[in-house]
Chains A and B, each alone.
Chain A
């Protein structure tokens, strides 16, 4: 009965590889997000989708591409991984827009070697 789930939980990979992180929410929410939390715990929005439509696209390298096949799923694909991409990536969802309470997934810990 997990509300917001992400896979995988841990991802260790080499520089230059391409990887994907998947997110699913079973809350019936309209809006989903990707956040990046760096080693200093600073949390920053990357993308937001509302009913499969992109509404926020922060200044993120275009190696990062989100995809929302339906409103319950928001996946994140990363091409040509770099050392600086190492972080924890959180998916979140909310009913309505960002002004509503956001519910976070467990996070995906990405380490690029």
Chain B
């Protein structure tokens, strides 16, 4: 069974700092997603990574995928308070008709 783990589970950081969230998964996958969820809200799609070495950037967020290491990272540059949210990665397993979500990383940016 596909397992998707994120770390850290909780992250508190100061504005202006950089940090990285990690997403590890246990079996081969053909694509990986990052979602954002604000408190009490729905999930919003951020990135989809389709191949080994894929890198996507949007504002202060950059996501990358290493399919050989079965690892994706979400890097936050010069964090601002608006980025406070829970971030989920989700993996689509070959031949499996579903997405498996990671445990989520709850990010709090402190002014």
Contact = CB atoms under 8 A, between A and B. Distances in A.
Are A and B subunits of one complex?
Answer: yes
Interface of A: 41-45, 48, 55-56, 58, 90, 92, 97-99, 101-107
Most A Cβ at <10 Å: residue of B41, B43, B92, B101: B43
27 contacts: A41-B104, A42-B103, A42-B104, A43-B88, A43-B101, A45-B99, A45-B100, A48-B98, A56-B97, A58-B98, A90-B42, A90-B43, A92-B43, A97-B97, A98-B98, A98-B99, A99-B30, A99-B92, A101-B33, A101-B48, A102-B33, A102-B45, A104-B35, A104-B43, A104-B44, A105-B42, A107-B42
Contact of A106 (B31, B41, B88): B41
Given A45-B98, A104-B42, A104-B43, A99 B106 contact: no
Contacts of A107: 41-42
Interface in B10-69: 30-31, 33, 35, 37, 41-45, 48
Contacts, number: 49
A106 B42 CA distance: 5
Interface of B: 30-31, 33, 35, 37, 41-45, 48, 86, 88, 92, 97-101, 103-104, 106
A101 B97 contact: no
Contacts of A97: 97
Contacts of A106: 41-42
Contacts of A45: 98-100
Q: Which 7 A-B pairs have the closest CB atoms?
A: A104-B43, A43-B101, A104-B42, A99-B92, A45-B98, A41-B104, A106-B42
